[in-house]
Chain A
Amino acid sequence: MLQGQTYEFKNLKELFAKANEEKSGDRLAGLAAETVQERIAAKQVLAGLTLEDIRNHPLLPPEEDEVSRIIEEHVNDTIFADIKGWTVAKLREYILDDSVGDRELKRLSRGLTSEMIAAAGKLMSNLDLIHAANKVEIISRCNIAIGQKGTLASRLQPNHPTDNVDGMLASMKEGLSYGVGDAVIGINPVDDSVESVKRLLHATHDFIEAWNIPTQNCVLAHVTTQMKAIEQGAPAAMIFQSIAGTEAANRSFGISVSLLEEAQQMIMEKGTSRGPQRLYFETGQGSELSAEAHHGIDQMTLEARNYGFARKFDPYILNTVVGFIGPEYLYDNKQVIRAGLEDHFMGKMHGISMGVDICYTNHIRADQNDIEELGVLLTAAGVNFIIAAPMGDDCMLNYQSMSYHDIATLRQTLERKPAPKFAAWLEYMGITEDGRLTERAGDPTIFSE
């Protein structure tokens, strides 16, 4: 009962969905709140549920779904026993409590399911999400460590429309000259063939070796293609894969737990990197619905389940791609910004080294100004890394993301440094001096022999 009006929610699935901020994808799935008041009523009902209620009534039962099983198996029962009587409101307030910091949140995380983390997020404002995420420091290590407080790392994305090696290297040199590329130099290939993946892995690896760059390379083909390339001797620091929040959606991506375990084993044995973390995942709200594998669950909750699934494999990095999937899932700037902040918070609460591809396609109601704003918000929220392409224009995937300029600008404006080892290399190369870009910066020909 709210203001004399009665609202009824059939089950937890419906309640979880209706408690979401407006998203076109939830509407497309027929799950969204009908009115703004119904949305708030759902949040109020959700606020009163206990964590035990949520655990006892799984949205997707573990018997039916591999991802649910992984999430359930992760829960530390001792910690859960302490908090099972908490309401979701109490969970939100605990996370926001000023005496609760990094250590407490990491402990709490071990007693939570992905659905509980999503539930807390649904009650939070945008600034709640920023403030809470910023409390958590997730440091991950592959060749170098990223994620330290006060740092902002970046993925350099030097894609090329035909996977041309020289063209890719040209974009990569430009990015490095802006101080971009500490999280990973990661290429989306057009051609998912073993030969093409090998070529790109060799080219990036050779360049990284020649210039002694403290970073890691990755080519984002399907996991099976990367495995074949590595088996044939291609030098990869990491293995990448897109993942989803249900077993059926993962199946549509051609992956399963056992396949990822096999990949993890292989990169440990044959990868070039020091580790211990050597996997890279990508996610994004809406992919389960688009694969018709959402089981009537809303896209924010499903996204949280991505992180529950990812957590099992302890990835070096994971980024959500927010704004790429299309306006039928995230309609405009407001929805993209909200989803970006939600994903980042939920990922951090799972203990994941979170990055974001802050982006938009040309048929959604957003432009470069909007994603620049989200860049500022996520940097404030302590995001581990952001993806950047030349001038923000990815000439292969045909969408716009953050630019090399943006990474440099966010760092200087919000006083963030690159990852320590990479920052030292930038100083050594004369790209930065005392942390600021020099005259040499922004010139790809500084890498000419």
Chain B
Amino acid sequence: MDRQLIETVTRLVMEKLKDAESGQTNTVTESKSQQEKRHYGSVKVWNHVGEAQAPKSVEASVVSESSVSQAVPIVKQAAQQIKTEDAASKKPGISKPKNKEQLAELMKQTPARIGIGRAGLRPKTDAWLSFRFDHAAAVDAVYGTVSEDVLKRLNLFSVVTRVDNKQEYILRPDLGRRLSDEAKRTLKERCKHKPKVQIVVSDGLSSQAVEANVEDTYLALKQSLTALGIEMGTPFFVERGRVAVMDDIGEVLEPEVVVLLIGERPGLVSAESLSAYLCYKPRYGTVEAERMVISNIHTGGIPPVEAGAYLGNVVQKILRYEASGVSLVRKEQ
């Protein structure tokens, strides 16, 4: 529920902000297609970082009808482009289809695994093993760790949450939301206090997302913040963190905005998808609806560089309104 709420709220906020500033020039220049893609990301409603899942079909009721339908056309175009490319590489597995051309056409229209044929009643070997491979990649992303190299390259030191190992991480989301006592001490010693923006990276449910996509996202975000003249705190890495660990970080370092780049729960389409969560003054008791998320950051979704640049603008807006999430919407009205 919470995740969905955050995404819905973000969508709402983005719509509002877009309306509010039409006519203004963005600091970061983007092409039309880039803008489309980025909206695809902010709108897509199912890239979870995998805390409690909502039932498959419950919708948050905050969002108004009109804001959803406004967002839709943009979503569709962008997503369609991506999916068609994927589909083009699929080979049909049906030996004698009634209509070969139509089969190719159908397969282009969806990323679903159709047109795959059968071995008796079972899937053919290729289709079965490619499915198993995609699941394997997702599992390895969950249980993998982020290499020292990446952290070193980005000059991120590492702290841990109250979670001891991956299994505990999976079972106890509550512990992943809290920093260890040592982590708190380390942050107090090594980090700038009360910065405008605190950037944090965490593996979350996909170490692969960090390996593959944090570098570009982070560097673009840094560049964007520098260009906008926004002061940054000392960035660091939180091992086995959950989204709400930003509240603990907020208590310790008291930044105005926290940007958390965290690995999403892997899907079969991508095991490398990254989310960026943003919150104005996260502290204990911050409700989920105060957070915002840009999800689906990976090469097949929102390209990391564009996501990073875009995040800089979102931070600027949060600072301008001194609010995020639903509060931002309220201030707007």
Q: A325 contacts which of B52, B98, B131 (Cβ < 8 Å)?
A: B52
Q: Is A329 located at the chain interface by the 8 A CB criterion?
A: yes
**Nearest opposing residue in chain A for B127, CB measure:** A391
- Contact status of A252 and B1, CB under 8 A, knowing A168-B110, A188-B56, A395-B111: yes
Give B117's nearest chain A residue, CB to CB: A442
> Which of B74-82, B188-196, B311-319 forms contacts with chain A?
B74-82
Chain A residues with CB under 8 Å of B50's CB are 326, 361, 363
Shortest B295–chain A CB gap in Å is 11
Q: A162-B79, A190-B45, A391-B127 are in contact. Are A167 and B109 (CB under 8 A)?
A: yes
Q: Which size bracket describes the interface of B in this complex? A: 35 or more
Provide the bound-state CA to CA distance between A364 and B143, in Å. Answer: 11
Q: Which of A5-13, A142-150, A404-412, A414-422 contacts B (4 or more CB under 8 A)?
A: A404-412
**Contact status A328-B57, CB under 8 Å:** no
For window 201-235 of B, CB contacts with A under 8 Å fall at 205
Contacts of B46 in A (CB 8 A): 190, 396-398
Structural contact, B113 and A390, CB atoms closer than 8 A: yes
A409 touches B56 (CB 8 A): no
Q: Is the CB of A398 within 8 A of B267?
A: yes
**A344 contacts chain B at the CB level, 8 A cutoff:** no
Are B110's CB and A160's CB within 8 A? yes
User: Are A443's CB and B97's CB within 8 A?
Assistant: yes
Cβ contact of A444, chosen from B63, B83, B96, B114, cutoff 8 A: B114
Check A324/B56 contact, CB under 8 A, given A196-B72, A362-B142, A368-B132: yes
Cα–Cα, bound, A11→B69 (Å): 50
- Minimum CB–CB distance for A340 against chain B, Å: 15
Residues on B with C-beta less than 8 A from A321 are 55-56
Cβ–Cβ < 8 Å partners of B94 in chain A:
442-443
CB of B58, distance to nearest CB on chain A (Å): 5
Q: B173 to nearest A CB, angstroms?
A: 6
The answer to the question of B19 belonging to the interface, with a C-beta cut-off of 8 Å to chain A, is no
> How far, in angstroms, from A408 to B119 measured CA to CA in the complex?
12
**Residue numbers in A under 8 Å from B59 (CB-CB):** 192, 221-222, 225, 254
Report A434-446 CB contacts with B as 1/0, cut-off 8 Å.
Answer: 0001011111111
A393 to B114 alpha-carbon distance, docked (Å): 10
Asked whether any CB of chain B lies closer than 8 Å to the CB of A347, the reply is: no
Question: What residues on B are CB-neighbors of A391 within 8 Å?
Answer: 112-114, 116, 123, 127, 131
5 intermolecular pairs with C-beta atoms under 8 Å apart:
A28-B174, A242-B58, A362-B139, A437-B121, A445-B106
The 9 closest A-B pairs by CB, nearest first: A391-B113, A290-B52, A167-B110, A398-B267, A362-B138, A242-B55, A170-B106, A445-B99, A192-B59
